[in-house]
Amino acid sequence: MATLPFSAAQSSSVSGFNYRASHSNLFFVRTPRFFNRLKRRNLSVKNITSDQRQELKDPSVNGEASLETLEPDSASIAASIQYHAEFTPLFSPEHFDLPKAFVATAESVRDSLIINWNATYKYYEKMNVKQAYYLSMEYLQGRALLNAIGNLELSGAYADALRKLGHELEDVAGQEPDAALGNGGLGRLASCFLDSLATLNYPAWGYGLRYKYGLFKQLITKDGQEEVAENWLEMGNPWEIVRNDVSYSVKFYGEVISKPDGSKEWIGGENITAVAYDVPIPGYKTKTTINLRLWSTKVAPNEFDLRAYNAGDHAKACAALKNAEKICYILYPGDESTEGKILRLKQQYTLCSASLQDIIAHFERRSGKPVNWENFPDKVAVQMNDTHPTLCIPELIRILIDLKGLSWKESWYITQRTVAYTNHTVLPEALEKWSLDLLQKLLPRHVEIIRMIDEELIHTIIAEYGTGDLDLLQHKLKQMRILDNIELPDSVLELLVKQEESSSVDSIKEVKVSDAETESTDEEQSEEQDTDAKDVVTFDPDPNLPKMVRMANLCVVGGYAVNGVAEIHSEIVKNEVFNEFYKLWPEKFQNKTNGVTPRRWIRFCNPDLSKIITKWTGTDDWVLNTEKLSTLAEFSDNEDLQSEWREAKKRNKIKVADFLKEKTGYIVNPDAMFDVQVKRIHEYKRQLLNIMGIVYRYKKMKEMSPEERKARYVPRVCIFGGKAFATYVQAKRIVKFITDVGTTVNHDADIGDLLKVVFVPDYNVSVAEVLIPGSELSQHISTAGMEASGTSNMKFAMNGCILIGTLDGANVEIRQEVGEDNFFLFGAEAHEIAGLRKERAEGKFIPDPRFEEVKAFVRNGVFGHYNYEELMGSLEGNEGYGRADYFLVGKDFPSYVECQEKVDEAYKDQKRWTKMSILNTAGSYKFSSDRTIHEYARDIWRIQPVLLP
């Protein structure tokens, strides 16, 4: 525990700074000595597409730099940290221990970010730039301190400053909790995008929700996964800036009335207030600092029922307050109950409504009066990150029609030119469907608008395909309608009736029949009538099926662009998921392969490797221009590079070993191969295939003599991490199975260091930043065609980790770039999956004997007393929910086991393995989020980089 070297309360002068408690505008008073060190720095920084940039000129500046910024040294930073420890405290004043040091340091950094944020925001306002707005339910930010000071190029200065104050930067940074705003790749992608947007000077904001408890904190116990509330906000969040003056009313329930002029008004119901919390996002080597605006929910004080409270009915008094607050309690609340479904819809609508109101306020303010709404799509691009923000489509139309007085035609045209949709999955649970009755109850005006959009779509389909072939029309409507199992609109029924009447008239013909034909029996006539009835095309809803709203279809219809996130995924989107829409609007569909930021995922989390890359590429410009990584391939056989590469990997593996001991108690050998699978626990990601492969390996080891197993097997540390959703029973069984296998294997003296199995609890960004640099083999083994892209595969490859995987998602492109010989491939391909499932359903699948051997081994109770019958049973049978091995673990098992044998052989040749590692880093240049953002900006948002003066 450290104490402050000197008191900021005293009138001290350190490196040109005098403290004044009364000075609230900035964290220090500038003195002459300070101004002697002030350096003029132009805020524009050349980036990798300078030839594409549009430099907006402010005529009032006359082309000269208009903003002076300070370039602080370690002494001034130390003074700033001390100021915040003294005057913006969240802790008692006696000591300057690590938690207090972190908060004071973060607030010091935030001061610089606010200066840059204000300059960026004001310039965007002044120049009225076209701006992109990214709407996402998740942002998996990770720790912000090291990333922020790294982007500001102040890492060394802050390290020196904290050392003077008695602490190490790494220790201080370790006090920061991960922001609990996301769960998996969807949220991490959104965060990488914000980093790239700021770094490349694109005008953009992110919008999300400020979850009080996030998803959950994962504990691993003898019973498997347990969930407790995440406490990331317990000590406050020094990065966020509450904007109490930026708030919007959000309505639920109520009714829609028609006014005398024909317009509609949504009245009554429940009203809550969404309040903005801003998190500045700095770019790398640029002063551009964009914004992540998070919404928190509350109600006005007059909603608190003081009379009920004083009468002792405290629950009633606080009901409105709790109903509002709980919207932002949890990311993805369980939706098995009606209450859970309502809460999820409230979350999604709150994000959409508050964000759209804010975006429109920006547009109106920048446009001046009168507002020309036709220009809205020329100034605004809204990107929906998956289907969670779908309600922004009817919400934008509602605001334009009901509040701004535009017509349906005008509003629909504006919306279709403003909103774009990123599809992230082909899994049914992610292609959201919501009950029409539930939506009608919660958002009655939006259901009216969705019905109008659905009607517009049906008329478009009829205009394209006609009504001559009712079978074809029925098929198109079944696949494409937004409203599923819901009666056709009256305007469409009228068209069909007219068509039927016309067809009946045209089909009247005189037909001569023989006497024998007229003598058919009543029974024959009845059979003919039954046959005719079966051929009748009906558009009536099925009373036995629920009435649903298909959100993904609404996204496609309401948006002007639809993109997948990897080449193979985008082809599946076009050819399978939305094939009928693709036939109708092929120009809408694009591919935008995901990317990850090389700042966080190499430069900051792997400094040892970064130094080597800089040395051998001859520049550190690769952090912005990742194509320069490809030059490493020229030196992949160089013994000096290989030696340095192995040493860096070994140092990172030692860090991982220390981390595993701290988090799990297991001691692992850093000379073993580190084999890692860390991601959300889901059956399609097939952690079950991985652990069953490990069980097979363990069983074979046990059958050998010590000499045989040592000669046959490479020592491995098999590391797992990831959260299973709290109500996903099968995923939680898999977590339990992994931990049980680890308990048995890790305590088996016969096996020793030849095999270890470790499950890392509470996997998050900070854990990934430790594990990825030290990983040597990374598993991306999803059932082909089911992983949209993946981003962790990119991070591992960037850090010289070799992948084992199927031809799924971005694996396909990674393998192309790093070279087929540097990727361990196994398993069925996407085009085979449907046939293999059909084969299984017909009872034709014959399991590999090795697969049956593993299941029997598990059932024998080797890994404890837990009953794994349900888990093993899911891999058996030919049909039925939870059975029939839908994700083809058994089918791919033999290919997987044989591929793992090739991994062992390759690892024994360390020269070959190191070359493969280097070539993985060299080939990962394509997978930078900078490249992805350039493609979004060019092809979808049509925005240009904006350089501050």
Helix (H) / strand (E) element for 688: namely helix 687-702
Whether residue 932 lies in the annotated active site: no
pLDDT at residue 949, rounded to an integer: 87
Q: What is the pLDDT of residues 496-520, one digit of tens each?
A: 887 766 665 554 444 443 444 444 4
Sheet with 777-780, side-by-side order of all strands: 755-760, 716-721, 673-678, 777-780, 802-805, 824-825
C-alpha span between 784 and 786 (Å, rounded): 6
- Could you identify the residue written with the tokens 């006696």? 94
- Residue 802 lies in domain: 607-927
Whether 679 shows a pLDDT value over 90: the answer reads: yes
The per-residue pLDDT for 506 is 52
Tell me the pLDDT band of 60, cut-offs 50, 70 and 90: very low
Residue 751 covered by a domain: yes
Residue 818 lies in a domain: yes
Structure tokens that stand for 567 in this block: 């080449």
Examine residue 36 and state whether it is found in any structural domain, yes or no: no
Q: How far apart are CA 493 and CA 541, in angstroms?
A: 13
pLDDT in tens, 829-871: 999 999 999 999 999 999 999 999 999 999 999 999 999 999 9
Side chain identity at 35, as an amino acid letter? F
Q: Does a structural domain hold residue 391?
A: no
**What is the pLDDT at residue 931?**
98
Concerning whether 550 is annotated as a catalytic residue, the answer is no
Q: Percent of the chain beyond pLDDT 90?
A: 82
Could you tell me if residue 691 is inside a domain? yes
- Which distant-in-sequence residues (6+ apart) come within 8 Å of 835 by Cβ? none
Average pLDDT over every residue of 645-656: 98
Catalytic choice (350, 626, 791, 914): 791
* Active-site residue, selected from the candidate residues 84, 100, 379, 424: 424
Q: What's the average model confidence in pLDDT over 695-707? A: 97
Residue 690, in any domain of the structure? yes
631 given a catalytic annotation: no
Q: Count how many domains the chain has.
A: 2
Q: Is the pLDDT of residue 29 over 80?
A: no
* pLDDT tens digit sequence for 767-778: 999 999 999 999
**CB of 229 closer than 8 Å to CB of 217:** yes
Residue 221 annotated to the active site: no
Q: Which position among 143, 550, 685, 915 bears the catalytic label?
A: 685
Out of 287, 481, 679, 891, pick the active-site residue. Answer: 679
Least confident of 185-199, 527-541, 622-636, 795-809: 527-541
Is residue 445 among the annotated active site residues? no
- What DSSP string runs through 12-26? -EETTEE--TT--SS
Query: Residue 186: is its pLDDT beyond 90?
Result: yes
Res. 222 pLDDT band, cuts 50 70 90: very high
Span 525-544, pLDDT tens digits:
555 455 444 456 778 899 99
More confident residue, 563 or 517: 563
Q: What is the pLDDT of residues 71-124, one digit of tens each?
A: 789 999 999 999 999 998 788 888 899 999 999 999 999 999 999 999 999 999
Q: What is the pLDDT of residue 753?
A: 96
CATH of the domain at 713: 3.40.50.2000
Which of 711, 720, 712, 698 has its CA nearest to residue 775?
A: 720
d(CA 940, CA 565): 14
Cβ contacts of 324 within 8 Å, gap of 6 or more: 272, 273, 297, 298, 299, 303
| Mean pLDDT, range 717-743, rounded to an integer | 97
Residue pair 947/129 in contact by the 8 Å Cβ criterion: no
Specify whether 685 is catalytic: yes
Per-residue H/E/C for 362-406: HHHHHHCCCCCHHHHHHHEEEEEECCCCCCHHHHHHHHHHHHCCC
What's the pLDDT score for residue 536?
Answer: 65
Residue 824 placed within a domain = yes
Question: Is 45 within the bounds of a domain?
Answer: no
Catalytic option among 445, 795, 891, 934 = 795
H/E element holding 78? helix 74-87
**Residue tagged active-site, from 680, 716, 837, 931:** 680
